[in-house]
Amino acid sequence: MSTSLASYVLLFPLWFSLTQQAPITLNQLRIHGPTELSEQLAQILVDGYDQLTLAERSQLIYEIRRDHGPRAQQLLLGWLKQEQDPFVLSALLNSLGFTKLETIPEKAIRRFLTAGNAMVQNAAMRLYGRLPDADFAYLATLCQETTDPGFQIALLDAVAARRDTAFATFPAAILLQFANGVATPEVEAAALKAALSNPGKRDAEFIHWQSEAAASSNVILRCAAASDAHVNSFTPASTLARDSEPAVRMAVFQAYQDGASEELQKLLGLPADSDPAVRTARVELLGRLDVIPDIPVVRRILLEGFEDDWAQVRTAAETVLSGENMPRELALELATAALTTSADSARLIAYRQIIARQFSELLEAVRSRLPQETLSENIAAGLRVIIALKTPGDAADLDYLRPFIDHKSPLVRGAVAEALGKLQVPGSEPIIIQFATQDESENVQAYAFESMGFFPQRVFLPTIAERFQNRTGSADATRARAAACWAAARIQPATPEDLEAIDQIAYSIFYLCTQPTIPQGMGMIVFDDTDVICNGLVATTRLMKLYPDHEALIENGRKLLNIYKTPISEAVTASSAGLNVPVEEISTSVARQALQFLNDEECTQTALNIQGLAPILSWKEADN
């Protein structure tokens, strides 16, 4: 049950357009593509669900929730009606929380709130409280009747999360039944958080409850009091932010979001905390404000964050710097200051944010700073600033980049190879070829082949043709082959020799896509990675469009696309083609839509079936 059931739907023109800018990557193919569970596979799952063991049903449910489409939710709701095992029921309820909540019937979940099994009830409560039409008047009744702490906490958390919606029908006074030591500290803390989330006016009883909790010896209760600390003048946020326990101090910063309050100035003005989690929470507070104020204390906190010893603090500071609530002028000022600091981490953040925010004003400052950098990661990041912001085609860039060409770090050499191609540096062709053929790092080689596509020159054709002889299985080696496929279709031939090289490349792509990397005689069949095959299919399609009168190329390309249009099982040899190809639904979709594109037909989306689950295949085979 290890193969994901998520099915990828590819619209071929989208990927065809993407390949004009860069090679297709596995990230695009397997992560960012939309998902859809096909109707055929959904029916197979319905028919075979009862045949699975408890462990297999649980794994299937986990896989299904990755698909956020309506069919996945329908499957989960259907299984919810027939399932009896508490563990699996809990898994179903948890997984439904990953689907569209608006289409989950309230009554389908309500009945599990009184199921009699604590695990099921708790899972149901955590889902029910998130439903748009959850009945909080009904939950108020349950709140008074239930005694299970886990269920109580789940219910109270739902009230706190829904705030206005909950308190429209949920009487806040009910929460006082948990106050001042009547319940366990965990339940009382959840009830106090719910009470403090009430947007309505609080009376003296709630204020007293919060004050007592803030002065409690129990950390859990003090954290609860801090969850809305700025509202109660008797327990101001700045007081709780000096608590001896990091968890309490962190709770203050995690809850605070009033950008106009004087209390904010006090919080931000506190010395840097000794605990990195608290420092992270204080930085993250800035990200929740409507607009980050342009005041000295904000500059200090962020610049300190850029240089913090803890990565989580630096990440939080960089996230704030890149946020939509960060004014551009303040961000530019902070990036400029970080660029001139002695801290490597601050300058690295500056380089990344200069790219993200397109601070072209700082291009020359980066070019001046870069020769002084000694950290490989910083040099590579600085080079990518130049790639992102500088106008291509400048011959002077070759002299500027030359000192980095033989750098000991493959990280730097890879960035140089990328820069030479994306900046289309005149006279850099021999260096790009050297990176592609002689560099000891396959990562650098991959960047070099990508550069050949960004800077398409006829002189690269022989090097690209030779690359397909390397069938090693490392990720960088396959990335280089994928890039070589992409680059080949971007180079315009000008001589008969060029056309011969194109022919050789087209045949090599056919070979890459139809011959395993491990010979069959060794007892296993392993084909190239999906990104190589998809780039090969798309490159073949582009070459066919470019050279419609080149009969050998057209015949070769049609043969390849037709083979992938209907993939053959790895265990069966195709009598018509005499070839095996991998069962990859993504590449099959690309091939089908490529043929539509070549035939000037509408390119249609396809709901794809992932056929890797042995139990499912056994049901299907049994039916046949």
Three-state secondary structure call for residue 583: coil
> In which band, very low, low, confident or very high, does the pLDDT at 523 lie, cut at 50, 70 and 90?
low
> What are the CA-CA distances from residue 123 to residues 115, 119, 145, 233, 330 (Å)?
11, 6, 18, 37, 45
> In which band, very low, low, confident or very high, does the pLDDT at 573 lie, cut at 50, 70 and 90?
very low
Start-to-end Cα distance in the chain: 22
Q: Is the pLDDT of residue 574 over 60?
A: no
Please answer whether residues 318 and 338 qualify as being in contact, where contact means their C-beta atoms are separated by less than 8 angstroms: no
What residue type is 372 in one-letter code? Q
Token reading at 368: 């001046």
Domain assignment present for residue 553? The answer is yes
Token reading at 284: 């993250």
> In which band, very low, low, confident or very high, does the pLDDT at 189 lie, cut at 50, 70 and 90?
very high
Q: What is the pLDDT of residue 320?
A: 97
Q: Is the pLDDT of residue 572 over 60?
A: no
Please answer whether residues 8 and 30 qualify as being in contact, where contact means their C-beta atoms are separated by less than 8 angstroms: yes
Domain assignment present for residue 104? The answer is no
Q: What is the pLDDT of residue 541?
A: 93
Say how many C-beta atoms besides its own lie within 10 A of residue 559's C-beta. 14
Domain assignment present for residue 437? The answer is no
Q: What is the mean pLDDT of residues 494-517?
A: 90
Q: What is the pLDDT of residue 143?
A: 95
Count of structural domains, the chain? 1
**Residue 602 per-residue DSSP state:** P
Q: Which domain holds residue 490?
A: 1-35+456-624
- Cα 478 to Cα 532: distance, rounded to the nearest angstrom: 6
Q: What percent of the chain has pLDDT over 70?
A: 85
78-105 pLDDT, tens digit each:
999 999 999 999 999 999 999 999 999 9
Minimal CA–CA distance to 105: which of 127, 138, 85? 127
**Residue 113 per-residue DSSP state:** G
Domain assignment present for residue 415? The answer is no
Domain assignment present for residue 466? The answer is yes
For the chain, what is the mean pLDDT?
A: 86
Buried b (16+ CB within 10 A) or exposed e, 229-245: bbbbeebbbbebbebee
What residue type is 569 in one-letter code? S
Residues 6+ apart with CB under 8 A from 376: 407, 409, 411, 412
35-54 pLDDT, tens digit each:
556 677 788 788 888 888 89
Candidate from 12-26, 132-146, 303-317, 582-596 with smallest mean pLDDT: 12-26
Minimal CA–CA distance to 248: which of 280, 213, 219? 219
- Cα 165 to Cα 135: distance, rounded to the nearest angstrom: 10
Q: What is the mean pLDDT of residues 122-148?
A: 96
Give me the residue label for tokens 């040899």.
573
Q: What is the pLDDT of residue 7?
A: 34
Domain assignment present for residue 471? The answer is yes
Determine what percent of the chain falls in helix, strand and coil, rounding each to the nearest 5: 65, 0, 35
Q: What is the pLDDT of residue 587?
A: 80
Q: What is the mean pLDDT of residues 512-526?
A: 69
Give me the residue label for tokens 């990859």.
584
Please answer whether residues 241 and 214 qualify as being in contact, where contact means their C-beta atoms are separated by less than 8 angstroms: no
Q: Which of the given ranges, 24-33, 45-54, 597-606, has the highest pLDDT on average?
A: 45-54
Token reading at 302: 């962020």
List the beta bridge partners of residue 518: 526
- Cα 304 to Cα 69: distance, rounded to the nearest angstrom: 44
Domain assignment present for residue 302? The answer is no
Q: What is the pLDDT of residue 64?
A: 79
Domain assignment present for residue 460? The answer is yes
